[in-house]
């Protein structure tokens, strides 16, 4: 990459000497001296954005002096000045689920530019792109020493077409690297290896320039790297593609909420407990679209692993990012993870010189603040459906019983009473109740000597980037396993246990500590390096268990160390999912039942028949810290990342064609040429009005991108399953929606197809169904195709936080390909709103108290919104709704096209069309 810089005015461009090296850099104090404003009280997170504008100012990149001065006004105005700016991240991070469709789009754009008279080589990433293959491993095999190799073999069997395509992309595109399967999770690889905190590169004059490391990623948990003071957040694949092709990220100067941390964590609590409390507090405050920056003396006692855990879950608390400024702990982590000493010296010197350093005097202005004394944090879990639903561990059993009562009140009174007695210190039922579950639903398992019941834990997984990057909780989990093993405890036979670390370094230190053997002994064998449960790759549970759950209509549960627990996401057999620290995942696997109060009830009995309690197997903070110090070494990181792009023999054997454009295989069910650019003209049009649109779905609150575009498995009875059956693909080879994101035909059929989505047009029906043009119930895909054939546009109505969750571009792509022209919701989650605009779908928000409920929507309405050919950003417009009985209601809605450039995107039919036309004109 060549750093493009603004006019060398010598007012803000300075020279920094570090050892025997010199770097040019853009100085914020120099900008103040030049009279551009007072930036001394800006939070470090916002200074990163300011530096970005200084670097690109006045060089034809839509950055003006007024944009820079706006940051001073932000501080003067109490942390608010929502001016539109153009921001350019240094690099892009991808994973394979979201990365495959992005590379598919790039390949399709090469075809498109050729058809418009351009050159295929015009389509290349201008910024460095790293794609880590981490989302394709499925937990088919578990609980035995062969699990890892069997899962890897199955991964290659299922995904060879995708891997061939990605390897072709690595050879065909400049600035594009692929980290092979089995290496780790993209965010952990980014944190431990790719990120530099301060980036360097040469400008157009050949001079070395230092600037903050920044990125956007096609996964919402890209925010994890903010724990290392690297500003990054998740965007949809569409927006990431635009960024890698040189388009700025159009954004408003954000508000920054300051989160003060004081005190220190107490004995028996973990970084997971801390982040679950943080998520609850920030969701309650409301930080959607805002930066959160953590500050306070508590950071002096918070290791970077815990910071990364908190930063990782920014999507769960709704913020754009959760940022930690550079300080001594940042430098310690860089050194311990094998970064070059010259780089570490540059990070320190740059941070201190340019006002990014956090010390005792760090006291910026924030838009709003809140505070947490970390000594008040208690062990906790969250669930059963949302990460922000924080539950103190002492109340977990009672809260679960209340949940069951809400699901089937006639069958759970006794269970509620049992939990209430336990909470009050009274007698409790035995920890394990096989076949003795008269107090709630129960079902005997075929061929086994036990029964399942409401609350049986059928999945316990140590997984995800959130926690497996944290050696304190991973070592803690290993010690719980060791102590349990020594006492003769084991997992319950109905619990599917798994360990999926975020990098090979985790295995290195678990083995060095002798803890992997203990984890293996109770079923937590290595199953793969990658994302598993968080993206629906938990794999099937034992068939007999699945049958028992279905036959008994049981509320089966899972306990996960991940970050996502939305319903329908983890497993089709599991209705209640709980997030917990890795040590608690191990403890819950031992007891196998959410009804058990593990803070009071015995987990089981030792070899002599004595009751064993959680306190008997829980390690002390000192035990954990000593093992971390002994086993988590710089040498381990250097060794494991030495050949990070090389891959194993399987990856090296993947054969790919050598060509500028991709030869799309007609028979592939994984990769197909999408229709976006076919028949495209060189000129954009105007935005078309929405006229007499029919309603495809009426959806409730907190409809996530996983509801809109699920990532997990699907059955042969679904439209996607039927598509594959017609092409002679056996059910065993269906894989998942996520793995087939390179095929628009599959993804269209999977849009709004989550098994738990509820279309309020239909009474009591779950799944991807709606009313067709004839008024009869049918699949959403079939209805949409029928409406398209009739030339009828479509709209979606929804409630609050529409599009929460993953930065899933297919939630917008699928919506667009189904023929939806507008989505009208109470409000939108940030990334999904941007993605809709990027695909030419217009988001609107209700105003004046109107909602889908207040309007009495049934899905029989038609909708017209006129005047879109001259729409302005955030303009209020009139939506005319003709009700099913012929009456007419006019409501005011706000158009959530937020910026001027987004209007151009919509006029072009999407951001990629906009980029392609501009490149074609420049050819």
Task: Give the C-alpha distances (Å, rounded to integers) separating 176 from 12, 31, 106, 167.
Answer: 32, 34, 12, 10
pLDDT digits (tens, 9 = 90+) for 218-271: 888 999 999 999 999 998 778 888 889 888 888 889 999 999 999 999 999 999
Q: Does residue 900 surpass a pLDDT of 90?
A: no
Q: What is the pLDDT of residue 58?
A: 55
In angstroms, the CA 550 to CA 554 distance is 7
Confidence of residue 440 (pLDDT cuts 50, 70, 90): low
Q: Does residue 435 surpass a pLDDT of 50?
A: no
Q: Does residue 426 surpass a pLDDT of 80?
A: no
Determine the 3-state secondary structure of 894 from DSSP.
Answer: strand
* Partners of residue 84 on adjacent β-strands: 252
Determine the 3-state secondary structure of 224 from DSSP.
Answer: helix
Q: Beta strand pairing status for 291-295 and 321-323? A: parallel
Q: What is the pLDDT of residue 1?
A: 32
Percent of the chain with pLDDT over 70: 95
In angstroms, the CA 893 to CA 80 distance is 24
Lowest mean pLDDT among 567-571, 850-854, 916-920: 567-571
Q: What is the pLDDT of residue 261?
A: 98
In angstroms, the CA 69 to CA 84 distance is 13
Q: Given the structure tokens 């571009």, which residue do they identify? A: 809
Q: Does residue 815 surpass a pLDDT of 60?
A: yes
In angstroms, the CA 218 to CA 808 distance is 8
pLDDT digits (tens, 9 = 90+) for 488-530: 999 999 999 999 999 999 999 999 999 999 999 999 999 999 8
Task: Give the C-alpha distances (Å, rounded to integers) separating 42 from 73, 74, 330, 363.
Answer: 10, 8, 20, 9
Average pLDDT of the residues of the chain = 91
What number of other Cβ atoms are within 10 A of residue 915's Cβ? 20
Going by the DSSP 8-state scheme, the letter that residue 93 receives in this structure is E
* Partners of residue 878 on adjacent β-strands: 892
Provide CB contacts within 8 A for 75, sequence distance 6+: 38, 39, 41, 42, 365
Q: Are 536 and 713 in contact (CB under 8 A)?
A: yes
Q: Where are the beta strands (DSSP E) in 804-885?
A: 820-825, 842-846, 862-865, 876-882
In angstroms, the CA 34 to CA 698 distance is 54
In angstroms, the CA 306 to CA 891 distance is 47
In angstroms, the CA 333 to CA 303 distance is 9
Question: Any idea which architecture 690-922 has in CATH?
Answer: Alpha-Beta Barrel (3.20)
Going by the DSSP 8-state scheme, the letter that residue 620 receives in this structure is P
Q: Are 355 and 40 in contact (CB under 8 A)?
A: yes
Q: What is the pLDDT of residue 4?
A: 39
Question: Any idea which architecture 380-632 has in CATH?
Answer: 2-Layer Sandwich (3.30)
Going by the DSSP 8-state scheme, the letter that residue 375 receives in this structure is G
Q: Where are the beta strands (DSSP E) in 376-502?
A: 380-382, 390-392, 442-444, 451-453, 457-462, 496-499
Q: Does residue 424 surpass a pLDDT of 80?
A: no
Q: What is the token pair recorded at 528?
A: 């793969």
The pLDDT of 537-546, averaged and rounded, is 91
Q: What is the pLDDT of residue 295?
A: 98
Q: What is the 3-state secondary structure (H, E, C) of 183-219?
A: CECHHHHHHHHHCCCEEEEEECCCCEEEEECEEEECC
* Partners of residue 916 on adjacent β-strands: none
In angstroms, the CA 795 to CA 841 distance is 10
Q: What is the pLDDT of residue 437?
A: 39
In angstroms, the CA 159 to CA 268 distance is 42
Q: Does residue 12 surpass a pLDDT of 50?
A: yes
Residue ranges covered by each domain of the chain: 13-87, 380-632, 690-922
pLDDT digits (tens, 9 = 90+) for 307-354: 999 999 999 999 999 999 999 999 999 999 999 999 999 999 999 999
pLDDT digits (tens, 9 = 90+) for 619-667: 999 999 999 999 999 999 999 999 999 988 999 999 998 899 999 999 9
Determine the 3-state secondary structure of 269 from DSSP.
Answer: coil
pLDDT digits (tens, 9 = 90+) for 146-157: 999 999 999 998
In angstroms, the CA 41 to CA 63 distance is 22
Q: What is the pLDDT of residue 427?
A: 37
Q: Does residue 433 surpass a pLDDT of 60?
A: no
Provide CB contacts within 8 A for 722, sequence distance 6+: 716, 749
In angstroms, the CA 912 to CA 236 distance is 12
Strands of the sheet with 91-95, listed across from one edge: 176-179, 129-132, 91-95, 214-217, 231-234
State the DSSP string of 432-446: --TT--TTS-EEEPT
Q: Does residue 60 surpass a pLDDT of 60?
A: no
Name the pTM for this structure.
Answer: 0.84
Nearest Cα to 281, choosing from 259, 307, 304? Answer: 259
Task: Give the C-alpha distances (Å, rounded to integers) separating 904 from 216, 236, 595, 736.
Answer: 22, 18, 55, 35
Q: Does residue 190 surpass a pLDDT of 90?
A: yes
pLDDT digits (tens, 9 = 90+) for 364-406: 999 999 999 999 999 999 999 999 999 999 999 999 999 999 9
Q: Are 442 and 472 in contact (CB under 8 A)?
A: no
């Amino acid at each position: 990459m060549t750093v493009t810089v603004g006019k060398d005015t010598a007012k803000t461009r300075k020279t920094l000497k570090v050892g025997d090296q010199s770097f040019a850099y853009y100085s914020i104090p120099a900008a103040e001296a030049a009279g551009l404003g007072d930036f001394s009280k800006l939070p470090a997170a916002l200074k990163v954005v300011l530096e970005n504008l200084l670097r690109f100012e006045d060089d034809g990149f839509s950055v003006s002096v007024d944009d820079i001065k706006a940051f001073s006004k932000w501080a003067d105005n109490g942390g608010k000045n929502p001016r539109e700016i153009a921001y350019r991240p240094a690099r892009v991070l991808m994973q394979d689920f979201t990365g495959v469709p992005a590379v598919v789009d790039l390949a399709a754009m090469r075809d498109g530019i050729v058809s418009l008279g351009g050159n295929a080589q015009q389509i290349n990433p201008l910024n460095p792109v790293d794609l880590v293959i981490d989302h394709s491993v499925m937990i088919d095999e578990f609980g035995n020493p062969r699990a890892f190799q069997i899962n890897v073999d199955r991964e290659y069997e299922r995904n060879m077409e995708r891997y061939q395509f990605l390897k072709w992309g690595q050879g065909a595109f400049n600035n594009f690297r692929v980290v092979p399967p089995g290496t780790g999770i993209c965010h952990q690889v980014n944190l431990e290896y790719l990120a530099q905190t301060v980036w360097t590169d040469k400008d157009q004059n050949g001079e070395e320039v230092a600037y903050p490391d920044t990125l956007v990623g096609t996964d919402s948990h890209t925010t994890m790297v903010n724990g290392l003071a690297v500003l990054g957040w998740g965007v949809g694949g569409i927006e990431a593609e635009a960024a890698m092709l040189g388009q700025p990220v159009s954004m408003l100067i954000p508000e920054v909420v300051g989160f003060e941390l004081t005190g220190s964590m107490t004995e028996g609590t973990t970084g997971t407990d801390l982040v679950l409390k943080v998520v609850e507090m920030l969701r309650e405050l409301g930080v959607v679209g805002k930066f959160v920056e953590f500050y306070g003396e508590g950071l002096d006692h918070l290791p970077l692993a815990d910071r990364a855990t908190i930063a990782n879950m920014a999507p769960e608390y709704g913020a754009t990012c959760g940022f930690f400024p550079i300080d001594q702990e940042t430098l310690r982590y860089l050194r311990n993870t094998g970064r070059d000493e010259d780089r570490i010296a540059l990070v320190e010197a740059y941070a201190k010189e340019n006002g990014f350093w956090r010390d005792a005097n760090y006291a910026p202005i924030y838009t709003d603040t809140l505070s947490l004394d970390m000594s008040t944090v208690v062990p906790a879990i969250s669930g059963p459906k949302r990460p922000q639903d924080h539950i103190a561990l002492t109340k977990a059993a009672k809260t679960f019983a209340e949940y069951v009562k809400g699901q089937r009140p006639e069958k759970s009174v006794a269970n509620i009473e049992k939990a209430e007695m336990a909470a009050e210190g009274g007698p409790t039922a035995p920890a394990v109740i096989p076949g003795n579950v008269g107090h709630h639903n129960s079902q005997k398992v075929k061929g086994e000597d036990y029964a399942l019941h409401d609350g049986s834990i059928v999945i316990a997984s140590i997984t995800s980037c959130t926690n497996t990057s944290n050696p304190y909780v991973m070592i803690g989990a290993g010690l719980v396993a060791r102590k349990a093993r020594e006492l003769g405890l084991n997992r319950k036979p109905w619990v599917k246990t798994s360990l999926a670390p975020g990098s090979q370094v985790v295995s290195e230190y678990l083995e060095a500590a002798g803890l992997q053997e203990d984890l293996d002994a109770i079923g937590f064998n290595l199953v793969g390096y990658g994302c598993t449960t968080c993206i629906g790759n938990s794999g099937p549970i034992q068939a007999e268990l699945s049958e028992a759950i279905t036959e008994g209509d049981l509320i089966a549960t899972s306990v996960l160390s991940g970050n996502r627990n939305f319903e329908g996401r983890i497993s089709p057999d599991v209705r209640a999912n709980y997030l917990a620290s890795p040590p608690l995942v191990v403890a819950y696997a031992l007891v196998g039942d959410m009804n058990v109060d593990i803070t009071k009830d015995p987990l089981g009995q030792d070899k002599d028949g004595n009751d064993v309690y959680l306190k008997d197997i829980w390690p002390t903070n000192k035990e954990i810290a000593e093992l971390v110090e002994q086993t988590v070494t710089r040498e381990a990181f250097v060794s494991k990342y030495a050949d990070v792009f090389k891959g194993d023999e399987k990856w090296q054997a993947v054969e790919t064609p050598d060509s500028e454009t991709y030869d799309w295989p007609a028979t592939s069910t994984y990769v197909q040429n999408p229709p976006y650019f076919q028949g495209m003209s060189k000129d954009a049009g105007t935005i078309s009005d929405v006229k007499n649109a029919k309603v495809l779905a009426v959806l409730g609150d907190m409809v996530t991108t996983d509801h809109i575009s699920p990532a997990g498995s699907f059955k042969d009875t679904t439209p996607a399953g039927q598509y594959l059956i017609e092409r002679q693909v056996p059910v065993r080879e269906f894989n998942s929606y996520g793995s087939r994101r390179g095929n628009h035909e599959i993804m269209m059929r999977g849009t709004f197809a989550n098994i738990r989505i509820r279309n309020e047009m239909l009474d009591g029906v779950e799944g991807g169904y709606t009313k067709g043009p004839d008024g009869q119930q049918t699949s959403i895909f079939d209805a949409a195709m029928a409406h398209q054939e009739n030339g009828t546009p479509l709209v979606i109505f929804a409630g609050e936080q529409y599009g929460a969750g993953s930065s899933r571009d297919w939630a917008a792509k699928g919506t667009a390909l189904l023929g939806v022209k507008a989505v009208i919701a109470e409000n939108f989650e940030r990334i999904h709103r941007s993605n809709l605009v990027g695909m030419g779908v217009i988001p609107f928000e209700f105003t004046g108290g109107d909602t889908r409920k207040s309007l009495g929507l049934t899905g029989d309405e038609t909708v017209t919104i006129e005047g879109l050919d001259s729409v302005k950003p955030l303009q209020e417009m009139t939506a005319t709704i003709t009700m099913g009985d012929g009456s007419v209601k006019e409501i005011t809605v706000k158009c959530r096209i937020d910026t001027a450039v987004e209007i151009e995107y919509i006029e072009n039919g999407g951001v990629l069309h906009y980029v392609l036309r501009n490149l074609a004109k420049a050819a």
